[in-house]
Amino acid sequence: MKNRGLLLFIGVVCLMSFIVKDTYQIPKAWPEPIYPIGKNELTINKVYLGRILFYDPILSVNHTVSCASCHSQFNAFTHADHALSHGIYDSIGTRNSPTLMNLAWQPYFMWDGAINHLDMQALAPISHPKEMGESLNHVLQKLGASKRYKSLFYKAWKDSIPTTETLLKSLSSFMLTLVSNQSKYDSVQLGLVAFTDQEQRGYALFKKHCNSCHTEPLFTNYQFEANGIKVNAHLNDFGRYAITHHPKDSFKFKTPTLRNVEYSFPYMHDGRFESLNEVIQFYASSSSIGDKTKGRTLHLDAKEKVDLHVFLLTLTDKQFLFNRSYGYPMELNTKE
């Protein structure tokens, strides 16, 4: 009986791994994803529905703001025009929108980890008075009354009436496809091309000073860290502390990935730095955490700063930034 149970278990696991393999490619040498893809099998129809939802301002109360308003593809799905997020009626939020990529590997979301599951993420902007100002109930009503969405939901879920689950899982489906693993760095890892000497020097500096937090291959350790930036007195953002109430978490923020960092300006949770130069300048200054493991500030001379900068540019993934299947869906231009 016990053995049979085990056999059955193994059978089920094998079956599930087939499903994952077919629909979701895990890049070589990357860890297993955290998102339970077995519970939300990706299909073309779900991903397409998620993409339409992502770009449709119908999710906001006055039909002016979509997810893409704050997460635009050309900036690796963050937004470039404001340091802090910009929602309905021109209200300004308190944080810079993060990039969206490789979300299947991310254990928690938001700068302070307030959200613990990708499926639950969309509830936050939808109901935030300064972001989309809607209610879940009303969004479901609007979608349920729309001819376009009835047919899209039917195709994706065999049920034309949208529910919390199908709405949220569709958005997740689209976001899960946002995988960036085609940068020069990745090609070098695969042995397809080589770094230039300058990039190689930058890489060495990176491994020495940055990799403990911005850990390869995802370029984040997904931990909450303090990198030494000074508290913004206007925002008084306590970071992770607001969630755990633990003093050790004061002013700690989730380490952001550095993939596509060339395009994800402005930088930090409050968008305080405009350029990578400023960021590197900061890390080389006395106020930065410096090298975590050695507990001293990091000294970079002018040449090293440039080398490090040049290495960061190898994390740019043009295939990702210009991938048509992530872009604005033309269907939204047609009247339903």
Partner 1 sequence: MISKPELFYFMRTNKLLCFFLFQIAFMALPLKSIGQVKLSFVPTIGGAEISLDKEYLLKELGKVTFTKLKFYFGLAGDTSSKSYFLIDLEKKSSCLVEFPLQKNSLNNEFAFWCGVDSFTNTSGVYMGALDPLNGMYWTWQSGYIGIKLEGQIRSMNGDSVSFEYHLGGYQNPFLVCYPVAFKNTKSSDLLVGLDLGRFISFAYQNFPKKVMTPGQDAYLLGKIFSESFYLLDNEK
Residues making contact with ligand HEC (CB under 6 A): 54, 59, 65, 67, 69-71, 85-87, 93, 95, 97-98, 100, 103, 109-111, 121-122, 125-126, 131-132, 171, 175, 209-210, 212-214, 225, 227, 229, 253, 255-256, 258, 261, 264, 267-269, 279-280, 283, 289, 292, 308
Q: Residue 63 binds which one of ligand HEC, partner 1, none, with CB within 5 to 8 A depending on kind?
A: none
CA distances from 251 to 229, 237, 289 (A): 9, 7, 13
Q: What is the DSSP string of 199-210?
A: HHHHHHHHHHHT
- Residue in 117, 148, 272, 292 binding partner 1, rule: CB under 8 A: 117
Token pair recorded at residue 329 = 């869906």
Residue at 142: amino acid letter: K
CA distance linking residue 269 with residue 97, whole number of Å: 8
User: Within 146-205, which residues bind partner 1 (CB under 8 A)?
Assistant: 163-165, 168-169
CA distances from 325 to 47, 173, 196, 322 (A): 10, 13, 31, 9
| 232 CB burial (10 A radius; 0-12, 13-18, 19+) | middle
Q: In the complex with ligand HEC, which residue's Cβ is closer, 187 or 297?
A: 297
Q: Residue 193 binds which one of partner 1, ligand HEC, none, with CB within 5 to 8 A depending on kind?
A: none
Query: Do 84 and 270 contact (CB within 8 A), yes or no?
Result: yes
- Residue in 160, 223, 244, 250 binding partner 1, rule: CB under 8 A: 244
Q: What is the DSSP string of 86-103?
A: B-GGG-B-SSPPPP---G
Q: In the complex with ligand HEC, which residue's Cβ is closer, 16 or 146?
A: 146
Give CA 137 to chain center in angstroms.
Answer: 26
Give CA angle at 152 (180, 36), nearest 5°: 45
User: Within 50-89, which residues bind partner 1 (CB under 8 A)?
Assistant: none
**Does residue number 141 form part of the binding site for partner 1 (CB under 8 A)?**
no
Q: Residue 165 binds which one of ligand HEC, partner 1, none, with CB within 5 to 8 A depending on kind?
A: partner 1
Q: Residue 232 binds which one of ligand HEC, partner 1, none, with CB within 5 to 8 A depending on kind?
A: none
Q: Residues in the site for partner 1, rule: CB under 8 A?
A: 1, 4-5, 7-8, 11, 36, 39, 110, 114-120, 123-124, 126-128, 136-137, 140, 163-165, 168-169, 243-245
